[in-house]
A and B are shown apart, each in its own frame.
Chain A
Amino acid sequence: MNEIVDKNLDLEITNKQLFNICLRTKPLKNSNSLETYKSIGGYEQIKKILKNKLDPQQLIDEIKISGLRGRGGAGFPTGIKWSFMPRDYDGIKYIVCNSDEGEPGTFKDRDIIRHNPHQLIEGMLIGAYIMNAQVGYNYIHGEIWEEYVSFEKAIDEARKAGLLGKNIFGSGFNFELHAFHGYGAYICGEETALIESIEGKKGQPRYKPPFPATYGIYGKPTNVNNTETYASIPWIIENGGQAFMAHGVKNSGGTKIFSVSGHVEKPGNYEIELGMPFEQLLKEAGGVWKGRKLKAVIPGGPSTPVVPADIIKNATIDYDGLAKIGSSVGAGSMIVMDETTCMVSALKRLSYFFYEESCGQCTPCREGTGWVYRIISRIYQGQATLDDLDLLTDVSKKISGRTICALGDAAATPVLSFIKHFRDEFEVFIKNGKKLVN
């Protein structure tokens, strides 16, 4: 892998770079202040929209042109999602920002809240204008208390400056925004579970339809989008959908933050132009740590299939590029594993996660994730037989597609992809009763 990392990349052809849109203020001093955001033209877009009473449909069209897709993992086109919200609904409508990132390896929304909260607020204001919503919530992951506090401060700052509340910019437009602090449930990242949670209940996903756009918080029309999605909006309105699209590639407009963690020299967030070669992103993250060789990568978080080094090495990082190698962008949670990684141990930990986080509502997921975890534990303890690998596959396939929400599919994905690509390692572990690698 070292020669791959060191190979000169043909930037003339791909020419994809790091480019900050959502993390624009991160390199600046006092990155999270209103003053800093204003210094780069912050809140000018919502001002322009409100002053000129721009047509919401035109704004949606611009977002459609940008190619922006939901950055929380589903990748659904944002412009289309926003057009689902009923325009002529007479009553309160809600928009929700989903900052409940709990997929292992995801930490991008935290960086946006930490460094660029006002761009997120402006994105939500624009969303509220377009969808004619009066109230918004930002649902923040439980474990990042300090970011929750800092986001509350940003809301206060915006409110005092007249950017939130009643009659914003003297336009007659009203929008209230509140921060909601989660308390440790991965499932609340699923949008209907999140809505249940905001209603003060267990975060158990709802049957769909009805979708949140018709029946959301308290039964009112509600739009839920990821933090990064909302934070991209002001830039798109400022520079145009085409300009955003141009930063990416076909079907993958714009930039996307990749949270690179695991066995790299410089773990961190890298906002890349979509279409960047994998090798280049790995190099940006300092390459594989300790001069070791790459073994495998989970490109978008554990709900996206793991990919062995020799398959991902020639891939580009975008929706189609990762689909071509049998994986996907997910939330951009890239987990890098070096040659010393024991795939059985890695899968055991991931299976425990899904077992622990299953909300318990659907039998295949509640029982299946337990089965999966116990079988892998049996392998790990040297008490399994080769038949157990088929049993693992069988149980996982029986979870997938048989649950209300996508957690079931997500739980099956690591099992199926780990066994597909690293079956030998599992077999050796079973035969020897111990790790292949140390």
Chain B
Amino acid sequence: MIEKLRKLIDKEIAKYPADKKQSAVIAALAIMQHHRGWLSQEDISDVAIYLDMPEIAVLEVATFYNMFDLKPVGKYKLSICTNISCMLRDADQIVDHLKKTLKIDFNEITKDGKFCLKESECMGACEGAPLLTVNNQKMYEHLDIKKIDQLLKDLK
């Protein structure tokens, strides 16, 4: 585990009692994932060793929370919400356009390794429906075809 990531994880561990490092497991996995883009077996082991947890307990967490990816997702993971509030505001059209433009289906990566498309559940921001997030962090709201085309151009 590299020093930079260790420092970030230490900050999370400090939020909990000294003997409860496990509480930082979601944060630690998120930090690792943000660095690599996805979680490898090595990342899971590193987190397990660092937090003094059985590896299976870390894997359980990584597979339970659906923002974790245990397979590569390309440079930009586009998670688009298709739940009811987004659906009512035509998220399906955005999905169709993305699939056509990128020539991929959900859970696939473009040939150049740049984009991956994920179907997401409600992100708690339905005011801005339809919407998507890039790499679990940056959210783009009030999407239309034009904005999608611009976004795909902007993501270098």
Q: A residues within 8 Å of B by Cβ?
A: 92, 101-107, 109-110, 137, 141-146, 178, 180-186, 197-203, 218, 259, 261-263, 267-269, 298, 302, 333, 335-337, 341, 345-346, 349-350, 353, 356-357, 359
Contact = CB atoms under 8 A, between A and B. Distances in A.
Given A267-B127, A349-B83, A201 B121 contact: no
Contacts of A106: 122, 124, 126
A107 B25 contact: no
B85 A105 contact: yes
B26 interface: yes
A267 B65 contact: no
A186 B121 contact: yes
Contact of A107 (B22, B88, B124): B124
Interface of B: 15, 17, 20-27, 29-30, 51, 53, 57, 60-61, 64-68, 79, 82-85, 87-89, 120-129, 133, 136-139
A181 B23 CA distance: 11
Contacts of A333: 126
Given A105-B122, A200-B23, A142 B84 contact: no
B18 to A, nearest CB: 12
A227 B105 CA distance: 37
9 contacts: A106-B124, A141-B124, A144-B125, A200-B61, A261-B127, A269-B127, A298-B84, A335-B88, A349-B84
A337 B85 CA distance: 9
A143 B124 contact: yes
A107 B30 contact: no
B27 to A, nearest CB: 6
A184 B121 contact: yes
Contact of B136 (A142, A198, A262): A142
Contacts of B84: 104-105, 262, 298, 302, 335, 346, 349-350, 353
B20 A218 contact: yes
B136 to A, nearest CB: 6
Contact of B124 (A110, A198, A346): A110
A143 B127 contact: no
B65 A199 contact: no
B26 A200 contact: yes
A350 B84 CA distance: 7
